Structure 1
Amino acid sequence: MNIYQHFRPEEREYIDQVLQWKSNVEQQYAPKLTDFLDPREQHILKILIGEHGEVNYQFFGGISGLERNRALIYPDYLVPSEEDFQISLFEIQYPRKFVTIEHRQVLGTLMSLGLKRGKFGDILISEGRVQFFAAEEISHYIKNNVESIGRAGVKLVETGIENAVTAAELWDENELTFSSLRLDTVISGIYHLSRQKSLALIQHGLVKVNWTLIENPSFSCEEGDMLSVRGHGRAKIMGLDGKTKKEKWRITVGKQK
């Protein structure tokens, strides 16, 4: 059976990587800890590792219900603990009375350190408190190299995971109709943009599907896809609800509040 036929062509490299991780755990009988994975990567890993085999997996990102998680792939003798995931939690101290720090500013600052996105987990913002999860192996580097975010001078304080704030994701759900599942068509409908504007956003590298940059307007969207359009926010295809009498797709879409 060709495993690749069940996934998109651009996911082939990651599929090979997961299969190699699984093989290494089987042969070496030792666990493998990954970087933080986005939900699509977690979904693929879950399918490829499978259930009830000699190799198991668990996801953990610091607390339950997070988007980005590290995966621990391990032989069946091991009983994992939270410590095995090697996750640090940082709280950002800044002059909250005078400035506001946004999610994109935190992510931009962290990415400017020259580290992979996979080294950072979720960014949590709740009532002015700003926190983020990171891989333990880079915690000292982060602390020594982040002194400002946006225009605010900041101090990073490493704290226990039990001190994590809860920042619930809220989605506005609507049922929309689309003439096709092409990416440019879907973006036009979700964000109320002209087809020309949607094409320009895609061609200028401002659109991601499942955290992967997509520059092909005819890319076919599927149920569960997460869309991100720079300057317009994120949306998720919650469900494909069939076609109308006029052969248009009925799609349930969630837009992040």
Structure 2
Amino acid sequence: MNIYQHFRPEEREFIDQVLHWKDYVDSSYTAKLTDFLDPREQHILKVLIGENGNIKYQLFGGFSASERKRALIMPDYLMPGEDEFQINLIEIDYPIKFVSIEHPQVLGSLMSLGLKRGKFGDILMKDGRVQFFAASEISDYIKNNLESIGKASIRLKELSLDEAITTDDLWAEQVTTVSSLRLDTIISGVHNISRQKSQLFIQQGLVKVNWTSIENVSFECAEGDLLSVRGHGRVKILSIEGRTKKDKWRIVVGKQK
């Protein structure tokens, strides 16, 4: 069976990487810790590692509601603790009375340090407080090099993971049926807007899938995808449950409140 036929062509490199990690763990009896993975990458990893072999995985991103998570792939006899995921929580201290900091600014500033997106996890924001999770191996580099975000001079302080901000990032589960898994169709069905309007959003660059702007209206969505439409919030495709008697796709999504 060709494993690639079940995934997108652009995901082949990541599939090869996961299979390499699995072979490494199987042959060396040593655990492998990955970078932070987005929901779609987590789904691919779960499918490829499976649930019943002698290799298992565990996911953790810093706290229970994390979206981006590191995976620990390991022999089935290991029982890892949270500290083995090597995640640090960093808070941004800035003059909150005089400036505001937005999520894209934090993301852009971290990327401008030459870091891959996989080296840091969720960015948490509430009531002016800003925190982010980072891989332990690059935390010192960030603390030594990140001195400003936007117009704000900042200082960084490391906290314990249990000091993470509790955000109001609530997701409402919703079951819906759509005629196809095309991006324009799913956006139309989930947000209750016309296909023409959803196509316009996509063509105008207002839609992202897994943090990547997609302008192809016929892009095929899959389980684990995170869709965001500017002005309409975000949606996670939690599961695709097959076709109905009327030959429509039944999907379960988490819709951000």
TM-score bracket for the superposition, by shorter chain length: 0.7 to 0.9
Length-normalised TM-score, structure 1: 0.83
> In 2, distance between residues paired with 1:54 and 1:244?
38
User: 1:13: Cα distance to partner?
Assistant: 1.6
- The equivalent of 2:184 in structure 1 is 184
**1:108-144 deviation digits (Å, cap 9, x = unpaired):** 2111212111001111112222110001111111111
Matches within 5 A, 1:81-92: 81-92=81-92
Contact 1:49 1:56 in 2 (8 A): yes
- What are structure 1's unaligned runs of at least 5 residues? none
Counterpart AA for 2:108:
G
> In 2, distance between residues paired with 1:72 and 1:227?
26
Structure 1's 193 and 118: CA in aligned 2 closer, same or farther, altered over 3 A? farther
User: 1:254: Cα distance to partner?
Assistant: 5.3
Matched, 1:127 2:127: yes
- What are structure 2's unaligned runs of at least 5 residues? none
- The equivalent of 2:3 in structure 1 is 3
Contact 2:173 2:253 in 1 (8 A): yes
Structure 1's 201 and 71: CA in aligned 2 closer, same or farther, altered over 3 A? same
> In 2, distance between residues paired with 1:184 and 1:192?
10
Matched, 1:12 2:12: yes
Length-normalised TM-score, structure 2: 0.83
Contact 1:191 1:232 in 2 (8 A): no
Structure 1's 221 and 128: CA in aligned 2 closer, same or farther, altered over 3 A? same
- The equivalent of 2:214 in structure 1 is 214
- The equivalent of 2:42 in structure 1 is 42
- The equivalent of 1:147 in structure 2 is 147
> In 2, distance between residues paired with 1:180 and 1:79?
41
Higher mean displacement: 48-57 or 25-34? 48-57
- The equivalent of 2:114 in structure 1 is 114
> In 1, distance between residues paired with 2:25 and 2:238?
35
User: 1:203: Cα distance to partner?
Assistant: 4.8
Question: What RMSD, in angstroms, separates the aligned Cα atoms of the two structures?
Answer: 3.0
> In 2, distance between residues paired with 1:176 and 1:69?
27
> In 2, distance between residues paired with 1:12 and 1:157?
38
- The equivalent of 1:55 in structure 2 is 55
- The equivalent of 1:80 in structure 2 is 80
The aligned length equals 255
User: 1:42: Cα distance to partner?
Assistant: 0.9
Identity %: 68
Alignment partner of 1:123: what SS? strand
Matches within 5 A, 1:230-249: 230=230, 233-237=233-237
Matched, 1:95 2:92: no
> In 2, distance between residues paired with 1:144 and 1:99?
22
Alignment partner of 1:184: what SS? helix
- The equivalent of 2:64 in structure 1 is 64
**1:169-227 deviation digits (Å, cap 9, x = unpaired):** 224677878665432344456385883x7556545655322344434221133465321
Alignment partner of 1:96: what SS? coil
Counterpart AA for 2:158:
E
> In 2, distance between residues paired with 1:143 and 1:47?
36
Counterpart AA for 1:75:
P
